[in-house]
Amino acid sequence: MTAAERSCGSRRHRSPGALATSIATATAVALLVVAPAQAQASPHWAWWQAEDPAYAAAVQPELRQLMRDLAVTGAAVLVRSPELGDWTTTMGTRTWHGTEPVTLADHVRIGSITKTWTGTVVLQLVDEGRLSLDDPVSTYRPDVPNGDHITIAQLLDMSSGLANYTTDLTLNEQLDSNPGRVWDPEELLAIGLAMPPAFPPGGGFLYSNTNYVLLGLIIEQLTGVPVEQAVQDRVLDPLRLDETSFPALTDASIPEPHPQMYTFGTNVETIDSLVLPPEVQAAARAGTLEPMDVTDTNPSWAWTAGAGISTARDLADHVEELVDGCLLSPQLQQQRLDSVQPVDPDDPASAGYGLALARFGPLYGHTGELPGTNSFMGHDPVRDITVVTWTSTAPAPDGTDPAVELAKAVVDELYAD
């Protein structure tokens, strides 16, 4: 099945009633994630649902408190549920101590959610017979250590053992001193490959951005086009994600409208721990410590591991189609869902990861974070519940992912009964 033959977007044309009657009843325990904002709710289908659903009133005080505790400037929350009711809210402002509120139309950098695009293109190439999940990486990149024993699947599910280039001190010093620098993907890969592997291939789990830069280079090698174009043609266009983009390496801009994006610690300060000193945390919560504006930092250093841009509604559309599987053959889509395994083998309830897909309780999706922004998207295919959150501040001064914390609060309320 080629990209041109895929048909996506049909969910968006189903009526709320049809959706409600199509879902199966199930119980589930959730552990999820999201970020804070200033309450301004508006139903997804205003003509269908005149009032906010009950869970919205219950969770809003907690969301507002999280915004204060985590020192978040702006945030958005979106929920779709034919069973419980749709709901959206935005909190906070586009600038620190500003007056212009954030909106659902705002564009934000989505960090590692980009990995779902990269993984989907790789899996499409599998569907097309142009590579196999069992192929050794050395087939495409002979320079990769242990490359004869690392498979494409192990790159996708983070079990390759390759070190994470984004922990390199020199790279982080450059991000702080020269945020506009354009990074070449080969530079990024070289940093990761020069670091000692964490374990033998298949010997554990390490969330490594090196895996996904390597996959991006393999995509370009097999398709003969820039990976940005491959993603546009194979993922964004078929899903009709008109407010979503994968910027060119030289492009550090964000489409309007957008909030400014803030962080409280430098890249070097937060290499080993995202937790800032207690006095910094207190000043950030009190609103007396001005955060650093990192909106214009060039995201080329994250490339196919995290340079994407989107909106809350596009993320919701994306995660629903990602989990329903319109971009892949039914067999490979099922394999993708089945690939998700607990990150902690000793804790079956821990978050799971598989072929460029994560699971948080009953929801499949992904999270994303760059300095200045955090996002969460998840979809429960059983109850047809979708949750999206983003924040324009990340990480929080206490080291937590603020959008994830918002999502946890929402999910806990959605699955309370």
Residues classed as catalytic:
112
The encoded tokens of residue 51 equal: 């009032």
248-287 burial code (b ≥16 CB/10 A, e <16): ebebbebeeebbbbbbbbbbebbbeebbbeeebbebbbee
Residue with tokens 């999940």: 133
Entry field: residues in the chain: 417
DSSP bridge pairs for 363: 360
CB 368 within 8 A of CB 41: no
| DSSP, residue by residue, 64-133 | HHHHHHTT-SEEEEEEE-TTT--EEEEEEBSSTT-SSBP-TT--EEEETTHHHHHHHHHHHHHHTTS--T
Angle between helices 209-223 and 185-194 (to 10 degrees): 130
Residue with tokens 């409600």: 20
Residue type, 108: V
Nearest Cα residue to 303 out of 369, 228, 354, 365: 228
CB 34 within 8 A of CB 408: yes
Nearest Cα residue to 231 out of 307, 301, 169: 307
